[in-house]
Amino acid sequence: MVDTRLSAWLIVDSASGGQHVLILILGCLALIEFGTRPDHPLPASLASANLATHRRPSSSTKTHERRASPDREQWLPPSIALGSLIYSLHERLSDSTSLVAWSWSGFPIRGPHPHVHAPLTVLAQVFATLLALALSPSNFPTSAPPRPSTRFPNITAHPLVFAIGVFSTYLLHTRTGWVGYTGGLLHAVFLTIITPSLLQNAGSVARACGPGRVFGTAWAVWIVFLFVGTFTVAYAFVPGAWSFRERTDL
């Protein structure tokens, strides 16, 4: 069996298995293909059959939509929110044991254990995803006439969801043991529920103001948070580093 994995870690080179040159070439080719992609990539037969739903707007239409959009100047808040969300998901939920470790106050452990209770974090995210799908209105277009919906109009914009996020963050940063981990589970539910809404807002603003401005700012916010979270851990003598630590009470 042929190993097709490509590695581009900064800690490896060509002698230790890194394929940086090949990956950079593939990335450049992908950018060239994306930049020269036609407005109608489908064959003529398929394009004519799906003209109403799959036609991409021309550059003049995009420019007109950007100028006509009333919220064209409100691109910064959604960009910052998206960058903060990406960092929060990366830092706290990319590993199911991260929230467990945050609740520890020393040894012996008097709270949750990573090998036993880490799946609770995943189950909390699954529950939040199903809850958001069940309570949020469907945004997929259908040919059938719209029917009155009894579901909650937009759960992610409800003040109760924001209150849960604030309360869970407070428990996560100020409590230990099972109380702190319970706050972490609520925080995982909060981040999962607001993700679809933030992505939708960022996509809408990107279509109106340009994806480079919106997503570039979002990734810049993520980089700032990542850098601050890294150098405060690596160098404890940095002035004011205590305010950026994972647990602000330590």
pLDDT given at position 116: 85
Q: Is the preceding peptide bond at 153 cis, omega within 30 degrees of 0?
A: no
Q: Rounded CA gap, 10 and 232, in Å?
A: 21
Mean pLDDT by 10 residues, the chain (250 residues): 61 77 88 78 53 50 48 78 92 87 81 87 90 65 44 66 89 87 92 88 88 90 85 66 57
Q: How many residues appear in the chain? A: 250
Domain spans in the chain, listed from the N-terminal domain onward: 74-139+152-250
Strand boundaries in 15-110, DSSP class E: none
Reference 110, options 177, 175, 171, 58; nearest CA is 177
Residue 160: CB partners within 8 Å, gap ≥ 6?
Answer: none
Does residue 87 contact residue 221 with C-beta atoms inside 8 Å? yes
pLDDT given at position 70: 42
Q: CA triplet 202, 247, 225: central angle to 5 degrees?
A: 35
